[in-house]
Structure 1
Amino acid sequence: MSDRAGAAQNGRSRLIIGVLAASAMASSLQFTLTVPALPEFPSVLGITASDATWIIVITLLTGTIGTPVVSRMADIYGRRRMLLVSIGLLCVGSIIAAAGMTFTTVLIGRALQGFASAIVPIGISLIRSQVERKQANMGIALMSATVGLGSALGLPLSGVLLAWGGLPLIFWGSAVASALFFCAILVVVPEAPERLNRRFDVIGAILLAVWLTALLLVVSKGTEWGVRSAETILAAAVTLAVFGIWILFSLRSRHPLIDLRLATRPRMMRINLATFFAALGMFANHLLTVQEARAPISTGYGLGLPAITAGLVLLPFAITMVALSPVSGRALNQIGPRATLVGGALIMTAGFLFRVLAPHQLGTVVIGAVVIGAGTSFAFAAMPALVTEAAPLTEVASANGVNGLIRSLSGAICGAALAFLLGSFPDANVNGALSQQGLTTAFAVVAASCLLGALIAAAPIPRRYR
């Protein structure tokens, strides 16, 4: 290849990576944009505060279920095609929510927005297919970083959009951004040549949707319903029963939605287990940093910041992730993704231990968040790279979709754990705030989770089990 042709190819690869990474950031924004706006929905839509939580839960449900389903469809029907479907659903859902502004239309819109979570695993599989390996690792690192950037930016950006145009502007902004990215993908990103020559597992998808929905209802609504309530017990029973049926069906199916034999290979299982415990660190950092920033000074740890300013405290975390993405990419190429994941999880552990011991001041909160952001940059770059190495080329999208499902479950459980802590360690004087002991306990538990993720990733696998 001539120098001119090589330069043109490199430029094309960078453009593909840039468009896919920006699309990933737009998808991750959907999961945090509405969180600060949640108190506004009851008065605007005429609903109760309890009803308003469904606006968050419905997106979590469709995102968690849609990620493995749409990712598998991408391997069968075309990755670029299903990427366009995912971002198209994000655009349509945003328009429905913005134009209708009723509880029903907002729920429908938010449900469609959840399918955008499939953008990340499909985008990673497209990068792996279209870009030379070393450059692909740099692209995967950037894409992982922009996911963190989007989730962190959603909190302060939501406050700005609310101030400018109220709730509709949040959804119109998503509609415009997703429409632009749809056009960019259509023009810039080519279709991947790899296809799985098999039928789509409709029954497996239905069973997966049923048990995941029931599980997420237990996790997200169990505290509100009560552990011993009929709703929680019924949802838990459905989860266990349908999960068992799904496993038996998937093992007997010639073309299962999720290849459990691949997913349970020691190498892939190690990746997904390490992902669960390390991902808990990123989600906990978001939730606990905002809790620390918003809590009144009277709690003994709170900074007493308003909502918009509290969201900005996470901005250094996001900037650190993006700034270190080239370093993460080089680490993937030079020391390998496994060592990169171990190192990232250990840095996250150090960041949470620092927050256990450091005084509760704005400077130390930002320093702790930045250290955790550095670790997250390395860990989140390594996760999809490890999955991509371990999966057959024709199943890269679906394997990354399963890994994305693991991260979503980690985030859901993290949110439920925070609700549990709020009930177990409430501040004596401030309603809805953790006590100082509760915050310290949370940081210590998350540090242990990140350390466990590092140990799992570092554990050797005997050759006969690989």
Structure 2
Amino acid sequence: MPSHGAVPDSAVTTDPIPNAPAARPLAAVVALCSGGLAAALSQTMVIPIQGELPRLLDSTAANTAWVVTITLLAGAVTMPVSGRLADMLGKQRVLVASTLLLVAGSVVCALADSLAPMLVGRALQGLAMGFIPVGIALLREIVPPHLAGSSVAAMSATLGVGGAIGLPLSAWIVEVGDWHALFWVSAGVAVAVLVALVLLVPHVHDAHPARFDTVGAIGLATGLVLFLVGLSKASAWGWGSGRTLGFIAAGLVVLVVWALVELRTPEPLVDLRSTARLPVLLTNLAAVAVGMGMMAQAIVVPQLLQLPEALGYGLGQSLLAAGLWMAPGGLMMLFFAPVSSRLMASIGAKVTLMIGASVLGGGYVLALFLMGSAWQLAAAAVVISIGVGIGYAAMPSLVLDASPAHEAGSAVGVNALARSLGTTLASALMGTVLTSSTLTLGAGAGAVVVPTEGAFQACFVIGAAAALLGVAIAATIPRTRPAPPAAPSGLTPREDVATSA
């Protein structure tokens, strides 16, 4: 049976051109995946100290909430921009620049003792998230065909793995040292990644010089920031508040105007006509749904683990213990990368995505019945993470197979943005559900408001529904013709990819 939409077998051929596969492909894969993990870790590393940030930074809780939000916003904006720059200037150059941003952001945060420099550093860390989509696109150029599928799957999984292992790692660092050590460790890891990029990742000639669409970048950034701020703050401001509706509406208006301008731009930041091809469009819509599924358990499960046992449904775990219970799920995303590759080789990327989303939904159904102990909930989280890992591995192949080679970075960047939209939407929805049904522990000044058991169950139902929506969308992804070769010829490998099922 021929391979459909998969990368790792004979369905992919590479023309004999100067950009041969890396001499040490495994070393290059490890270097790129390490960079992806380092960038993803920055997204969750402040969670263990989030409650202490008002005291540590001498500010209010509302203001210090931006320490998390600004990183998510910067990450969402930078993904399509970094992808476009990678297509124009060369992928390795953009990877090095992203890593330097991560180093700079980590050092600024490590030296910060007030809110303003912390926000600057966290924004720089968010800009480093462009590393992951660009790394995925580069892997298809530098590794031999038999390693391409599993390599792309592993790199794609770092979006979830970094978040899962970041919580226990950060909690442990905070317990044994000063909170600034979080960022010094991040800076040290980023420097190591930078050295590995220079020494282990081959310098391929994959640049396609073009004019950078500055107006498009500003328009996209403005629209995304307005829209995502409205979403991310909806649970705090209220979905019906003027601020929430105003930010969301303004963001949508700006994005519509941006799209109209992009369609008339000769060299746009994002080729919306390519993005509107059904295989790409439907894959990105599925990415939103799967992204929601990933983020729902990342928000809900740690809270449920840490609630006091006196409630009857809380599991009484410390922050570090909760992180350790979550860590196996993150590792499973990475361990299932070869499994995802084999699935894509045998049944196609489309069906693999459907399987991943189905497993994700099944994990949430399990969680509804496994809330009684920490190990049971952790087992459900493992199933959820396996589904995310399989789904995340399939999406880049579907997008790359349907996109021109010279737009690879931009195409994967938009797909990563779609995942980010899903995680932001999930965060807003989960926050709303968890604060809409609460009970009060204690009395007086020491009283604490916590979500009810029904609120947690509702979150699991929403996660399952999002996953099933992802299955339904993936089922409609049509077959694709082989992606057109890169132009001009000779700059990048041309991949004659089989149609995806």
TM class by shorter chain equals: over 0.9
Matching residue of 1:443: 460
| From 245, 260, 266, the counterpart of 1:248 | 260
**What letter corresponds to residue 96 of structure 1 in structure 2?**
V
Matching residue of 2:414: 402
The alignment partner of 2:317 has SS state of: coil
The alignment partner of 1:200 has SS state of: coil
The alignment partner of 1:73 has SS state of: helix
| Partners of 1:427 and 1:436 within 8 A in 2 | no
Per the TM alignment, residue 49 of structure 1 is displaced from its structure 2 partner at its CA by 1.1
Pair 1:382-2:394 in alignment: yes
| Partners of 2:343 and 2:349 within 8 A in 1 | yes
Matching residue of 1:456: 473
Cα distance change, pair 270–240 in 1 and its aligned pair in 2 (3 A): closer
| Partners of 2:291 and 2:421 within 8 A in 1 | no
The alignment partner of 1:167 has SS state of: coil
Per the TM alignment, residue 11 of structure 1 is displaced from its structure 2 partner at its CA by 6.2
Matching residue of 1:5: none
| Partners of 2:46 and 2:170 within 8 A in 1 | yes
Matching residue of 1:353: 365
Matching residue of 1:145: 157
| Partners of 1:63 and 1:116 within 8 A in 2 | yes
**What letter corresponds to residue 24 of structure 1 in structure 2?**
G
Matching residue of 1:305: 317
**What letter corresponds to residue 67 of structure 1 in structure 2?**
M
Whole-angstrom distance in 2 between the partners of 1:212 and 1:17: 31
State TM-score, norm by structure 1: 0.94
**What letter corresponds to residue 284 of structure 1 in structure 2?**
A
Per the TM alignment, residue 462 of structure 1 is displaced from its structure 2 partner at its CA by 8.1
Q: Output one character per residue of 1:281-337: Cα deviation in whole Å (capped at 9) or x when no partner.
A: 111121111021012223332101111111111011022222222212222222221
Whole-angstrom distance in 2 between the partners of 1:191 and 1:139: 18
The alignment partner of 1:293 has SS state of: helix
Per the TM alignment, residue 356 of structure 1 is displaced from its structure 2 partner at its CA by 1.4
RMSD after superposition? 1.9
Whole-angstrom distance in 1 between the partners of 2:331 and 2:278: 35
> Within 5 A, what are the aligned runs for 1:278-317?
278-317=290-329
**What letter corresponds to residue 459 of structure 2 in structure 1?**
A
Q: How many residues align?
A: 458
Cα distance change, pair 78–9 in 1 and its aligned pair in 2 (3 A): closer
**What letter corresponds to residue 469 of structure 2 in structure 1?**
L
Per the TM alignment, residue 237 of structure 1 is displaced from its structure 2 partner at its CA by 3.6
Per the TM alignment, residue 231 of structure 1 is displaced from its structure 2 partner at its CA by 3.1
> Within 5 A, what are the aligned runs for 1:80-229?
80-229=92-241
Whole-angstrom distance in 2 between the partners of 1:57 and 1:131: 35
Specify every segment of 5 or more residues in structure 1 that has no aligned partner in the other structure, as ranges.
Answer: 1-7
| From 13, 22, 26, the counterpart of 2:34 | 22
Whole-angstrom distance in 2 between the partners of 1:445 and 1:118: 29
Pair 1:393-2:409 in alignment: no
Matching residue of 1:325: 337
Per the TM alignment, residue 359 of structure 1 is displaced from its structure 2 partner at its CA by 4.5
Pair 1:268-2:276 in alignment: no
| From 421, 430, 443, the counterpart of 2:433 | 421
Per the TM alignment, residue 191 of structure 1 is displaced from its structure 2 partner at its CA by 3.0
Per the TM alignment, residue 224 of structure 1 is displaced from its structure 2 partner at its CA by 2.3
Matching residue of 1:372: 384
**What letter corresponds to residue 318 of structure 1 in structure 2?**
G
Whole-angstrom distance in 2 between the partners of 1:440 and 1:225: 23
Cα distance change, pair 162–460 in 1 and its aligned pair in 2 (3 A): closer
Runs of 4+ with >4 A deviation? 8-11
Per the TM alignment, residue 258 of structure 1 is displaced from its structure 2 partner at its CA by 1.0
Cα distance change, pair 404–463 in 1 and its aligned pair in 2 (3 A): closer
Per the TM alignment, residue 428 of structure 1 is displaced from its structure 2 partner at its CA by 4.7
**What letter corresponds to residue 221 of structure 1 in structure 2?**
K
Matching residue of 1:434: 451
**What letter corresponds to residue 78 of structure 1 in structure 2?**
G
- Give me the identity figure in percent: 35
Whole-angstrom distance in 2 between the partners of 1:41 and 1:424: 25
Cα distance change, pair 374–236 in 1 and its aligned pair in 2 (3 A): closer
Per the TM alignment, residue 228 of structure 1 is displaced from its structure 2 partner at its CA by 4.6
Whole-angstrom distance in 1 between the partners of 2:157 and 2:227: 29
Whole-angstrom distance in 2 between the partners of 1:54 and 1:74: 29
Per the TM alignment, residue 81 of structure 1 is displaced from its structure 2 partner at its CA by 0.3
| Partners of 1:291 and 1:433 within 8 A in 2 | no
Q: Output one character per residue of 1:237-265: Cα deviation in whole Å (capped at 9) or x when no partner.
A: 42132122101101111111111111111
Specify every segment of 5 or more residues in structure 2 that has no aligned partner in the other structure, as ranges.
Answer: 1-19, 443-447, 482-498
**What letter corresponds to residue 454 of structure 1 in structure 2?**
V
Moved more, 149-158 or 420-429: 420-429
State TM-score, norm by structure 2: 0.88
**What letter corresponds to residue 462 of structure 2 in structure 1?**
V
Whole-angstrom distance in 2 between the partners of 1:436 and 1:387: 39
Whole-angstrom distance in 1 between the partners of 2:209 and 2:180: 43
